[in-house]
A and B are shown apart, each in its own frame.
Chain A
Amino acid sequence: MSIAAAEASVASPHTPSIQSTSPLTTNTTQSGFAFPTYTSFPPFYTLQPNVTTRAHQLDLWSSLVTTYCAYHRLFRISLSSPPADLFANRSINRSLKPSSIRDVLDHMASPAGGQKIEWLSTTAKGEQKDSCYVLWKSANEWAEEIHAWVDETGQKGTVLTVYELRESDAVSGKDWRDMDEGLLRRVLNVLVKRGKAQIFGQEESAGVKFF
């Protein structure tokens, strides 16, 4: 156990240091993400009928989903094809039912759950929501981060394309690189609302000017 934890901390330098020293850490997967101990607790994969217990359980799930997505830099989860090892633990042969996954995500989307995810609006009416953005950092945090970066690099007043913000070499070390385009637009919209940016053009060729 202690060896595994040590390995985990060595193998995954990205993980927050607190987590690696925490007693909760366990089970490093091939991807390097250290799953917390409670993911090996079989009841974790059954939604609890007791309200209080369920609240605790959902908190744990919320925490797991956000740390997992932060580690893997996932910005979007699709219910039809969720990350294979997130909602299941092969070693104890347990997995969360799809309906329960939806419950967990619903909870995370609610204000009580801290709005850690945001459902994508469906294209057709009556269709069940399938995908969601995972806000392991909230839109405001993202917005501030991007704005700070623009400020630091002295690009205020210049026009940057969305492509540049997502994929250029300049942002290679930044958390938001490869961010889902829809999410990036949402983040930029926050800046627009604050009057710190302006978006030009349509869709693919959109450009952003920061103030």
Chain B
Amino acid sequence: MFLRQLDLTTALRPSFFKDETLLFVQAGVGLYEGKYKIPDYQDGSAYLTSHRVCYVANAQPRKFSVAIDLKDIERTEFYAGFLKSSPKITLFPKPPKSTQQAIRNPAPKHALPSDTLISPTRSSPRPLSQSPGPLRDGNATWICPICGLSNGIPANFDPYTANEFTPLLPCQACGIKPSLVHINKAAIAAMSNRSSGAVFGSLGQARGSEIPYGNGLEQGETNSTRRNPCPRCTFKNHRSLHTCEMCGASLTTSSQQQQLMAVERPDSPGPTLDTSIVGNDTIETIKFSFREGGVSTFLDRLKTALVQRKWLLQSAPPVPQPVNSNNGGLLTGSEHPSRSGTPQRVVGIAGLERRGAELRQNNQAVIGTAFEDLEALMTSAKEVIAMAEQFAKQNNTDSGVSPEARDILTDSASALGLVTTRDMLGSGSASETLYITELSRNLAEFLTDDRRGVLRKEGGIMSLVDLWAVFNRLRNGIELISPLDFEKAAIMWDSLNLPIRLRRFKSGLLVVQERSRTDEKTIAALVAWLKQPQNNDWPQATGLSDNQFGRGATAQEAAERFGWSVGVATEELEMAEETGALCRDQCLDGTRFWQNLFATASKEIKSMQTKDEMGFDELKRELPN
């Protein structure tokens, strides 16, 4: 089940999970299974999200769209392209569950040599912050900025849950404590190296020890004579060693992995592929071929996403917050019992004040670390957004903003994840159109979103200018859209087959409405309404039977009846008049529109006239005197 069926939104974009964010979009992408192109999956867009890689075909997107969960990806491979061959990114799936579970067995069974050096780590109890998710390369190091020694990063250090209270060990040579950001960077760098090269240590080692259980194919491998160079110190180790004799680094290399993969591949899957690639278990590799560029950015972001593992955050326990802010910087193992054992309880006003002070301090710390480095900002994005949301709420309760505006503003944090921004897309000539396309889809999604019901509130139709204002307001001052881009995006709706359409009234007014709402339907609704007997408050109607002609309505009344704005109502009525369904009655109190009865009346007259001509002599005799 490497490739999964993909749910699309109304705007034909992948529908995201909760917490899932869009990282990158690239158009002009084709899919390969192994060496062969997959039919029907050759022209589409690749969406990279924090959880998945999605492919959405341009033609028949609902049928030919697939997603690959990032968690199923074992590693990626990059092919830069050659002459007419496009650059490609190959995604290798993780082995099937049965073997995977065996491999996933706990941490290294044998102590790494480096562990002996970092004895304090082992002797101290594991910090609370250990999250079940990220397993990391055992040989990740950070280089001390003072003396330049490569120190190992503690195995329990997780860059995504680490905060300023996570205990950090000083450099083993000079004893200077590193900054959190420094270690964070080093850890992330180590992860990304791993993801492109070797798998994480534990997995590699486990696999090494379970060769017979693996795929059986490895047995035929006869490279035991080959020597394994260490990726860190380049010392050539014996093949059977899993860690470097010199520096203790893990020796499972990418070359080995590739050989492994190469052997696993069957000779040829045949030129034509099974059409049902979705849910197919036998897929070995999926290649994304980038025919219109953007591969490098895609790869960068993909690697980052694979390292960040956002999908784990969802199930991860919340970041442990220190009970006592006095513990500030370093928490050594010995402090743990005291912390959990005797929580300080302060009650009364002092307690409240204390809580407030703690909260402020905490916020300050989060903001301080977040803005220290952009990379670090990325890691603490979740908290920052949460905080921003909270601030927005506080502001709103203070000032007298209308409730609608408040709703929209508080929505803004969720909107941050939804909206495509320019920097999500690569540079180049194609990116401009891609940006417009994405914006167009964004807009369509925004309009069809039932929770907001933007269109519904406006009676199913709203002017483009109004939409522009609402949409930009929702962006909360970030990445505002220029009117030009906005119009371009709106014009794209038609070519993208989205459920929204842009209409130009003959006065030039541009409005937005659902595609299903055609003129015919509008006219039918108008006529049905005008057919109803008119109100009795129309004083001149005396002497006429009430429903003889239905009723006359001004644009104002129509606007009230259908929830349109007056401008839209005028345009709709005139459109209906244009088609001949309505006619107008200009009088002192304005223009009223009526159902058009001229056609039927003149038809009756015509038929009468023909009768007249037939019975002309008769009539002539009837006319007396």
Flag if B608 contacts A38 (CB, 8 Å): no
Does B606 make an interface contact (CB < 8 A)? yes
Q: Which parts of B603-624 form the interface with A (CB within 8 Å)?
A: 604-606, 608-609, 611-612, 615, 619, 622-624
B contact patch SS: mixed
Nearest CB in chain A: distance from B438 CB, A: 42
Interface string of B18-56 (1 = CB under 8 A from A): 000000000000000000000000000000000000000
Nearest CB in chain A: distance from B534 CB, A: 10
Flag if B623 contacts A14 (CB, 8 Å): yes
Q: Which parts of B582-598 form the interface with A (CB within 8 Å)?
A: 583-587, 592, 594, 596-598
Nearest CB in chain A: distance from B273 CB, A: 58
Contact of A53 among B548, B599, B608 (CB under 8 A): B599
Does A153 make an interface contact (CB < 8 A)? no
Does B342 make an interface contact (CB < 8 A)? no
List, in ascending order, chain A residues with CB within 8 A of B541's CB: 92
Flag if B619 contacts A41 (CB, 8 Å): no
Does B111 make an interface contact (CB < 8 A)? no
List, in ascending order, chain B residues with CB within 8 A of A49's CB: 577, 584
Q: CA A169 – CA B134 in complex, angstroms?
A: 120
Q: CA A175 – CA B597 in complex, angstroms?
A: 33
Nearest CB in chain A: distance from B33 CB, A: 60
Known: A16-B619, A22-B608. A46 touches B601 (CB 8 A): no
Does A75 make an interface contact (CB < 8 A)? no
Known: A42-B552, A56-B598. A50 touches B583 (CB 8 A): yes
Flag if B585 contacts A42 (CB, 8 Å): yes
Q: In the complex, which residue of chain B has the Cβ closest to the Cβ of A4? A: B543
Does A19 make an interface contact (CB < 8 A)? yes
Interface string of A20-59 (1 = CB under 8 A from B): 0011100100000000111011111110111011001101
Contact of B585 among A13, A22, A45 (CB under 8 A): A45
Does A172 make an interface contact (CB < 8 A)? yes
Does B344 make an interface contact (CB < 8 A)? no
List, in ascending order, chain B residues with CB within 8 A of A17's CB: 619, 622
Flag if B584 contacts A43 (CB, 8 Å): yes
Flag if A43 contacts B548 (CB, 8 Å): no
Flag if A92 contacts B540 (CB, 8 Å): yes
Q: CA A183 – CA B620 in complex, angstroms?
A: 20
**Chain B count of residues within 8 A CB distance of the other chain:** 38
Flag if B544 contacts A42 (CB, 8 Å): no
Does A18 make an interface contact (CB < 8 A)? yes
Q: In the complex, which residue of chain A has the Cβ closest to the Cβ of B603? A: A56
**Chain A count of residues within 8 A CB distance of the other chain:** 38
Nearest CB in chain A: distance from B522 CB, A: 16
Does B549 make an interface contact (CB < 8 A)? yes
Flag if B605 contacts A63 (CB, 8 Å): yes
Does B268 make an interface contact (CB < 8 A)? no
Does A128 make an interface contact (CB < 8 A)? no
Point out which of B549, B580, B586, B598 has the most chain A C-beta atoms below 10 A from its C-beta.
Answer: B598
Q: In the complex, which residue of chain A has the Cβ closest to the Cβ of B616? A: A141
Q: CA A52 – CA B594 in complex, angstroms?
A: 15
List, in ascending order, chain B residues with CB within 8 A of A22's CB: 604, 608
Does A60 make an interface contact (CB < 8 A)? yes
Contact of B586 among A18, A46, A175 (CB under 8 A): A46
Q: CA A59 – CA B600 in complex, angstroms?
A: 12
User: Which B residues form the contact surface with A (CB < 8 A)?
Assistant: 540-545, 548-549, 552, 577-578, 580, 583-587, 592, 594, 596-599, 601-602, 604-606, 608-609, 611-612, 615, 619, 622-625
15 contacts across the A-B interface (CB closer than 8 A): A1-B545, A17-B622, A27-B543, A37-B601, A38-B597, A41-B594, A42-B587, A43-B552, A43-B598, A49-B577, A49-B584, A59-B605, A60-B598, A91-B540, A175-B623
Q: A37-B601, A59-B606 are in contact. List 5 more A-B contacts (CB 8 A).
A: A16-B622, A56-B599, A60-B605, A63-B605, A172-B625
**Nearest 7 A-B pairs (CB), nearest first?**
A56-B598, A43-B585, A42-B585, A56-B602, A46-B586, A43-B583, A38-B601
